[in-house]
Amino acid sequence: MVRFREVWESGVDELARVLVIHGPNLNLQGTRETKVYGEETLAEINRRLQTEGARLGLEVDCLQTNHEGEIIDAVHGAAARCAALVINPGAYTHYSYAIRDALAAVGLPAIEVHLSNIYTREDFRRVSVIAPACIGQITGLGSEGYLLALQAVERMLGRDKPSGQEVSG
Ligand code: DQA
């Protein structure tokens, strides 16, 4: 959480960019397993993210990739440019120590988002190796989860600093 202190102390305006990373198979959103993931396309979700970002005064960049290394590069790149990350790592959630290490290495506040509720599905989905490197996780609320993550970022950036919240470091 050291990074939060830096963000709070260095002023919000120049750092109010948020990178949203959509991991593998999310490009198929709207057509794959619609009963589980819904019928919204990724383009529609990204449009809603842009709209919500504009409302909150956040600059939102969206990236989708099916490749683990590209997610890691994006996390590294975000360190210099972004105040926070929102990440749906797709199936990498359940086994990518490399993505977890990247998040831990950059120390940016990250929120993990899942469209489906990973705790009500197959056993292998009930474990997130990414969550310990994140400040929080939103799961099972469909695409609303991404919007809620943006709202949480906006509050935690200090414009609406939560009272009583510990800032270590
Ligand atoms: C997912 C859940 C993962 O288990 C799955 O592999 C995905 C999507 C979700 O958003 O619900 O690809 O991250």
CA-113 nearest atom, ligand 1: 10
> Number of folded domains in the chain?
1
We report the CATH number of the domain holding residue 30 as: 3.40.50.9100
DSSP state of 119: G
The pLDDT mean for the chain works out to 90
One-letter amino acid for residue 1 of the chain: M
DSSP letter at 134 equals: S
Query: What are the pocket residues of ligand 1 if the criterion is a CB atom closer than 6 Å to any ligand atom?
Result: 25, 88, 90-91, 93, 114-116, 118, 125
Counting every residue written for the chain, the total comes to 169
The per-residue pLDDT for range 67-81, each reduced to its tens digit, is 999 999 999 999 999
Q: Which domain holds residue 90?
A: 4-157
167 within domain boundaries: no
Reported as a single tens digit per residue, the pLDDT across 92-118 is: 999 999 999 999 999 999 999 999 999
Nearest atom within ligand 1 for CA of residue 88: 13
3-state secondary structure of 92: helix
Which atom of ligand 1 lies nearest, measured to the CA of 24?
12
Q: Could you tell me the distance, in angstroms and rounded to a whole number, from the CA of residue 90 to the centre of ligand 1?
A: 4
Specify the pTM. Answer: 0.88
**pLDDT score recorded for residue 1:** 40
User: Using CA positions, which residue lies closest to atom 7 of ligand 1?
Assistant: 90
Enter the tokens of residue 43: 């383009």
The answer to the question of residue 166 being in a domain is no
* Distance of CA 56 from the midpoint of ligand 1 (Å): 26
| Per-residue model confidence as pLDDT tens digits over 14-53 | 549 999 999 999 999 999 999 999 999 999 999 999 999 9
Instruction: Give distance in angstroms: CA of 80 to centre of ligand 1.
Output: 28
Catalytically annotated residues: 37, 114
How far does the centroid of ligand 1 lie from the alpha carbon of residue 143, in Å? Answer: 12
Query: Which of the listed residues 27, 87, 125, 126 should we mutate to test ligand 1's pocket, taking the one with most ligand atoms within 8 A of CB?
Result: 125
Do residues 111 and 136 make contact, with C-beta atoms less than 8 angstroms apart?
A: yes
57 and 68 in contact (C-beta within 8 Å)?
no
The pairing of strands 17-22 and 110-114 is: unpaired
